[in-house]
Amino acid sequence: MAGGVKVGRRRMIDSNGTPGSETNTPVRRLAAVDEKITEAARDVGRSADSVTLIAVSKTFAADDILPVLEAGHRDFGENRVQEALAKWPALKTQFPDTRVHLIGPLQSNKTKDAVGLFDAIHSIHRPKIARAVADEMARQGRTLELFIQVNTGEEEQKAGVMPRDAQRFVAECQQDIGLNIQGLMCIPPTDEEPAVHFAFLAKLASDCGVSGLSMGMSGDFETAIRFGASHVRVGSAIFGERG
């Protein structure tokens, strides 16, 4: 987590009667998540600074996101390129150090917009997409943080490279396409123990020679941290349930 994020959260934790002191607001829930991250990291001898908290703001309007930005948080996640384009250019103008992560699937016809707006993409899973991202980054002169999405549950309805193909695909992205892949991402099946998938992804990342682990959501991010998550994607625990 960036230093500015931690300063912002300490400010709201220590404040009395200031905006964010209410018991059930996104800002206060953000502070509670931050505390849980600190505790989970401490339990396994890690620093909380080694974990990037991505506040998943998909489906929430700019007005809902603004208080969290004002509290100092700077990493946010979106699922859809078009939705992000409707709110983030203006917010990033106001808060230029904000990093927006694409955590949903990317279609090749949205690559230009995605590379122009996002600072990280967590869902690379096909050679066509990887090549489109590489070409567009070169065209725009931008370098994004990139993760390969792995379908650890081998679910037919879910995107992601199959585990047996992950090493080959990472090598293809790095050696043939020229992408700097920082890590792997997964979304465990809802009816399975997430710890099994987190442990598996950590081992797979080591085998692939990458260190980033984008894993863990509102219900299991503490477990993910204990298995080495570098990025956790937390939405409802901060912004509340979506309508």
Summarised one tens digit per residue, pLDDT across range 20-39 is 445 689 999 999 999 999 99
pLDDT tens profile 71-96: 999 999 999 999 999 999 999 999 99
Per-position pLDDT tens, the chain of length 243: 333 323 223 233 333 334 444 568 999 999 999 999 999 999 999 999 999 999 999 999 999 999 999 999 999 999 999 999 999 999 999 999 999 999 999 999 999 999 999 999 999 999 999 999 999 999 999 999 999 999 999 999 999 999 999 999 999 999 999 999 999 999 999 999 999 999 999 999 999 999 999 999 999 999 999 999 999 999 999 999 876
**Cα angle 140, 172, 139; round to 5:** 10
Q: Which residues of 62-99 are buried (b: 16+ CB within 10 A; e: fewer)?
A: eeebebbbebbbbbbbbbbbeebeebbeebbeebeebb
Coil vs helix vs strand at 162: coil
- pLDDT on residue 12: 37
What is the helix (H) or strand (E) element at residue 137, kind and residue range? helix 127-140
User: How far apart, in whole angstroms, are the C-alpha atoms of residue 204 and residue 112?
Assistant: 30
- pLDDT on residue 24: 86
What pTM does this model have?
Answer: 0.90
Q: Nearest-CA neighbor of 142 among 133, 150, 151?
A: 133
- pLDDT on residue 15: 35
- pLDDT on residue 14: 36
Under 8 Å between Cβ of 57 and 79: no
Alpha carbon 41 to chain centroid, angstroms: 17
- pLDDT on residue 23: 62
- Give the residues across from 102 on adjacent strands: 78, 121
3-state secondary structure 178-242: CCCEEEEECCCCCCCCHHHHHHHHHHHHHHHCCCEEECCCCCCHHHHHHCCCCEEEECHHHHCCC
